[in-house]
Chain A
Amino acid sequence: MRRAPASVAALACLSVGCAAAPPRSAAAPAHTTRSATAREPEADATSNYAPAPRAQPSQERQPGATSLDIDAPASAPPQPAPPPATAPSSVGGVSVQSLGQATVSISESAAGDERERVVREARIGAQVQRIREEQIRLASNPGVCHDVCFAAGSICLAAQEVCRLTGDQDARCTRARTACTDAGHQRDGACPVCPPTH
């Protein structure tokens, strides 16, 4: 019977401990939520974008949902690698939703920048390719521009002399001038810069 009071005391301690436990365990998520809430404006301030409206339904998702689930539509351009799936699940549902909103807004702006960058780089790449091809063509046939420029110049010189001899109204002058104009276009197309004569 002496053991009974001791058992009662032990049970009372245990029950007190069990009664104290819920407030402690409830406090932990509250603390986590505050820190997650504090992080949300940080992310928005960094990206200068308001949280995306389509992030709202994601709050109804299961707490275990990761940022990969939220952010990865099938047609979206390649995104940076998502964080490990274990990290959000250890944080809790509310914090994952908040982080998800921030991630969506950042990833949308990043996707727009990425598309612009890809288009810009493609244009520059095409120009560089054209320049390289032209350099190869000129390097493989260095005499071409000399002859193109010489022939075009000779045509225009001859046209000038024809017009001097026949008069500007003569049909042969008109034909010669047309030949000069055409030769100039051909020269400009093939050799924008003529090599020196000597």
Chain B
Amino acid sequence: MIRRGLVAIAVGVALLGGCAQPGPTRGSAPSNEAVMALLGTVRALHHEADVFEGAGEFERATDAVRRILALDFPRNMAEAEDLRADAYGRLAELALRRAAPDEALSLADTGLRDTRREGVLRGRLMMVRGQSLGALADRAHAAADEPAARRFREQAVEALEASIALNQRILQRLADGGAP
């Protein structure tokens, strides 16, 4: 009963978010109203994914987050890169929870290619990449493929150390009064 109620709320929120979608044209400077509407839509879809993820329905949560990537972000919308990086990171985490490390690795790599800014969301993508490679190492180890397991393990640790180093730089930058 509670679950059905939550789903109903999530669908309602998603529909409201869909109604707010303005569909600005690519290339034109998005108005504040358009940006706020897009941000509201993204937030509603993340809430929907929260509800499904909390209920253990990872496929449906994945569908909700994929709808974020399907949104038509204006080319010069400053927040678009972060919104996509966040969506790719969450999709990769959901793939890991679905025990699909190959898909998770692919999503993390796509997100890293799509993200230029050295921020916490890029660091998260690097970490999910390391976690995916770690899961692949576990799978190779379970299959008694020790050379593959060692290779994946080494790549995983490298990705995780790169993630730590990036986040340390971010913390230092913030401590020095720099922009987030």
Contacts and interface: CB of A to CB of B under 8 A. Distances in A.
A117 B180 CA distance: 43
Contacts of B153: 165-166
B123 interface: yes
B160 A148 contact: no
Interface string A138-168: 0001011011101110110111011011100
A: contact size bracket = 20 to 34
Contact of A176 (B123, B134, B156, B164): B164
Secondary structure at the A interface, as helix, strand, loop or mixed, is: helix
Secondary structure at the B interface, as helix, strand, loop or mixed, is: helix
B: contact size bracket = 20 to 34
Given A165-B157, A198-B50, A154 B127 contact: yes
Interface stretch (B26-34, B106-114, B170-178): B170-178
Given A154-B127, A157-B127, A165-B156, A146 B180 contact: yes
A171 B82 CA distance: 34
B41 to A, nearest CB: 15
B57 interface: no
B115 interface: no
A157 to B, nearest CB: 6
A176 B167 CA distance: 12
A161 B156 contact: yes
Given A144-B180, A147-B180, A165-B153, A176 B160 contact: yes
Contacts of A62: none
Nearest first, the 6 closest Cβ-Cβ pairs linking A and B are A151-B167, A147-B180, A158-B160, A143-B180, A150-B120, A151-B170
